[in-house]
A = this chain, B = another copy of it.
């Protein structure tokens, strides 16, 4: 993309309403604009990051064998009356009346709707196991929305639902989700620690939240510092292998790691003192096993091997897709702006032309731009007629991990400058070497 043809309305001033760094930088970098309280438009740069995160979620769900579909945003109140949650849910549920006076709601979650789809179509254990998921806009009418997309009212979320014949199978689904979520977050450059949590209005006993450590997190968390040394890394996972998924789950959840909702001083005291940590965390996902909580009242039964009709065992699993954009910024920034991990960066590389209008510099930038596009990458070329200082400041603010700077002086020596946004380190090299380096970096992402 050529910046002269893009829509990147960066702000010089920090908007007064933004209290946390991700909100400030998302506004300043022209990623979002508030449409009304807790509701945002995703401007082009923000939308690109949102889509990258969505794509990673889809890819990792596919790898785990989960099946994508899409449920609508608006739901009939009838199903929620059937499960008993219509009254329970409180004022965070946005209740709507249509022109015929029917009670509707903007879905905050989809247990009822998916259970209805399941019970209408599945009758036999032969069709199990089954995990369906979707990524869709949700609404929670927060009384005091704040922190930008971190605690908005309209938010984009992946929610998935597993249907299994037995508790044992459902617990495998639980473990499979835990493992696939770990991989999902790692691909985004995030460490998200599974912590034993409280189930809230979803219900059920088994639940873990995934928390990213950050000073601005809304949750207080307590953990054994050894938990932060564990990575899934590149290990091969067979998501059908119950023992392997169980082992990974145990590896990641055996050490003490809890939110304040489930924190127990006595258990925490058993952690060696030099490894006891309390910190703040941002919740970026949660998994639940809740057995037959929805299948029993809603009649989601299948015929088992013995010919008896039994309610299915279910769980649900969520990833906050729009919230992740903010969480990644909270975890990866400096005082100049955002620092995108390679896995989610909106453009792979920036190109700065130090002397727009100089024939040689223009030609070198064009050649770089086309070569990077030809390598399947998306560069952002700042081809505006602006001062170099302004171009650097914008590029630092929007946080592309790599930048190539092109100027007449370097070109005389046949070199351009490749700079890492994270370390700030620069290296001069011929343009071809810079292209090769960038291509190699992204080949591994």
Contact = CB atoms under 8 A, between A and B. Distances in A.
A134 to B, nearest CB: 8
B7 A72 contact: no
A7 B113 contact: no
B69 A44 contact: yes
Given A69-B42, A70-B42, A91 B99 contact: yes
A74 interface: yes
State how many copies of this chain the complex holds.
Answer: 2
A116 B94 CA distance: 25
A146 to B, nearest CB: 14
Interface of A: 5-7, 9, 30, 33, 35-37, 39-44, 46-48, 50, 65, 67-76, 78, 91, 94, 96, 98-99, 102, 104, 106, 113, 116-117, 120-122, 127, 130, 132, 134, 137, 139, 141, 143, 153-154
Given A98-B141, A120-B33, A39 B69 contact: no
B70 A50 contact: yes
Contacts of A134: 47
A11 B20 CA distance: 52
A47 B72 contact: no
B70 A47 contact: yes
B154 A67 contact: no
Given A44-B69, A69-B47, A94-B96, A74 B9 contact: no
Given A43-B69, A46-B69, 8 more contacts: A36-B74, A37-B102, A39-B72, A47-B134, A73-B154, A96-B96, A99-B141, A99-B143
A437 to B, nearest CB: 27
A98 to B, nearest CB: 6
Most B CB within 10 A of own CB, among A67, A70, A117: A70
A153 B74 CA distance: 10
B94 A98 contact: yes
